[in-house]
Amino acid sequence: MRAPNSLQGRLGLALALAVTAMWLVATVGSGLIVRHELDEAFDSALQEAAQRLLPLTVADVMEREPGAQAARVDSLHAHREYITYIVRDRDGRLLLQSHDADPAHFPEKPAVWFRTTPTHRIYGEAAVSGTIILEVAEPLQHRREAALESALGLLAPLPFVMTLSLIGVWLLVRRSMRPVHTLRGEIELRGNGNLQPVSARKLPTEIAPIADAVNRLMDRLRRAIESERSFTANSAHELRTPIAATLAQTQRLVAEAPEGPVRERARSIEASLRRIARLAEKLMDLARAEGGGLTAEEPQDLVPVLRHVLEEMRRSPGAGDRIRGPAPSGRPLVSRLDADAFAVLVRNLVENALHHGPAGGPVEVFLPEDGVLSIVNGGPPVPPDTRAGLKARFVRGATDAEGSGLGLAIADTIAQAGGGALRLLSPASGRPDGFEARLTLPVEGQSPRR
């Protein structure tokens, strides 16, 4: 039998085995006590019977003729005789016996007091100065049967009592483990966007130190993450102004430089500065996304935000005729995710689709009635190994398109911080090719969908 892996299962099994063992030990002990009390009762009955019979048998023996043969006491009615007796003289000569008595069951020499043979328990009592001895015998098998029936009487309710005990143990263990499950649930709710201390109130003294240790660990983790975010955000912010100034000077240089190698070199510098500016903006978005606080105090409909972001992106050169959808469904997308964070998330997903889809190919945005937002672009299927790492920072697939490798990381961070999930599918749903980013948000009043 393999021991269960869960602590609840181990406690339940251990307590059930312990209760079973205790019941069996108690039953055996009770049986031994009952057996001892039965022996005392039967011995007392033997002694009482011998002392009652002795005067009667002595009178019967004394009235007989000297040298008469041994007599057998006839029974008034046929019945089984559990207690038999014989009367002998001090030399062992048989004088009288009960109707079922067998002299072979008695020792050859009569004696006074209790004796035990392999088959019988015998008590002897003497009279007439020890010349007449009455011995009463009871089969040991009778005592064994009485003890066995008593033991069976103790064991009979044991299955019912054991069943109730096991159910009680299981309920008790389950109730006792409830604080552990509560603490586990509290820890599972923590993440990058929620590093609040877990509640240690009403926890047993054995579990409260675990909650304290988890709170200390999250405090260290929060300080480390805040330090990293602060460094990233400050660096990006400090770089933005000089980059913008340098870009402006470079654009002026492009405008003033004569046609030729100098202007081409200036344009190359301008393109590099634009990429650095976009990277700085992405780093700031990532820092804000990892900073938590991405949920609003009140739930709100995010469909207008989605349409506003898409309309704004359609004004970008080359994107107006590529972005399609979503089709009006009339159903709101009510969520507690912050509107600005949702806008950043959508913008990153659409930009990723525009950059990595086929040149001039459409980017389709779907918002069906189930509230799962899907952004689909064309292109060859992305291998599963490559797709699995696309949500990591600065990771890009096998593509020549420009990009920082942060768009999907930012979108995934915002989705997780808002309690949702971002799934990447390739091929896209219902298509032999393409790439699909599927966003599921915890819609107000519903459980998060995966």
Query: Rounded to an integer, what distance in angstroms lies between the CA atom of residue 73 and that of residue 93?
Result: 17
Q: What are the tokens at 35?
A: 């057996």
Q: For the chain, what's the residue count?
A: 450
pLDDT of residue 398: 67
Expressed in angstroms, the distance from the first to the final Cα of the chain is 37
Which residue(s) pair with 369 in the sheet?
Answer: none
Which residue(s) pair with 438 in the sheet?
Answer: 374, 423
Residue found under tokens 């009403």: 202
Q: Which residues contact 227 (CB under 8 A, 6 or more apart)?
A: none
Query: Rounded to an integer, what distance in angstroms lies between the CA atom of residue 226 and that of residue 196?
Result: 13
pLDDT of residue 289: 67
Q: What are the tokens at 445?
A: 């009043």
Distances (CA, A) of 271 to 102, 145, 355, 401, 407: 124, 105, 16, 14, 19
Cis geometry, peptide bond prior to residue 442 (ω within 30 degrees of 0): no
Q: What are the tokens at 106?
A: 């008695």
Beta carbons of 373 and 306 less than 8 angstroms apart: yes
Q: What are the tokens at 45?
A: 């009955």
Query: E strands along 302-406, which residues?
Result: 323-324, 334-337, 363-366, 373-377
- DSSP track, 90-122: TT--EEEE-TT--GGGS-SS--SEEEE-SSEEE
Q: What are the tokens at 103?
A: 């002299």
Q: At what angle do helices 178-188 and 158-176 cross, to 10 degrees?
A: 30
Q: Give the pLDDT confidence of 154-213 residue by residue, as tens digits.
A: 888 888 888 888 888 888 888 888 888 888 888 887 765 667 788 877 788 888 888 889
Which residue(s) pair with 87 in the sheet?
Answer: 96, 134
Query: Rounded to an integer, what distance in angstroms lies between the CA atom of residue 422 and that of residue 352?
Result: 14
Query: Rounded to an integer, what distance in angstroms lies between the CA atom of residue 337 and that of residue 414?
Result: 9
Query: E strands along 302-420, which residues?
Result: 323-324, 334-337, 363-366, 373-377
- The torsion of the CA quartet 109, 113, 115, 119, rounded to 10 degrees, works out to 90
Beta carbons of 136 and 46 less than 8 angstroms apart: yes
Q: Which residues contact 418 (CB under 8 A, 6 or more apart)?
A: 193, 294, 295, 335, 336, 337, 338, 341, 342, 441, 442
Q: What are the tokens at 120?
A: 């019988």
Q: Nearest Cα to 449, choosing from 350, 359, 355, 369? A: 369
Which residue(s) pair with 126 in the sheet?
Answer: 133
Residues of the chain with pLDDT under 50: 446-450
Distances (CA, A) of 327 to 111, 366, 374, 375: 113, 7, 12, 13
Number of helices and strands in the chain (H, E): 10, 13
Q: What are the tokens at 170?
A: 């299981």
Q: What are the tokens at 396?
A: 């890009």
Residue found under tokens 């005592």: 143
pLDDT of residue 50: 92
Q: Fill in the amino acid letter for 433.
A: D
pLDDT of residue 448: 40
Residue found under tokens 């010349």: 131
Q: Residue 380, SS3?
A: coil
Q: What are the tokens at 197?
A: 């201390």
- The torsion of the CA quartet 178, 181, 186, 189, rounded to 10 degrees, works out to -140
Query: Rounded to an integer, what distance in angstroms lies between the CA atom of residue 365 and that of residue 372?
Result: 11
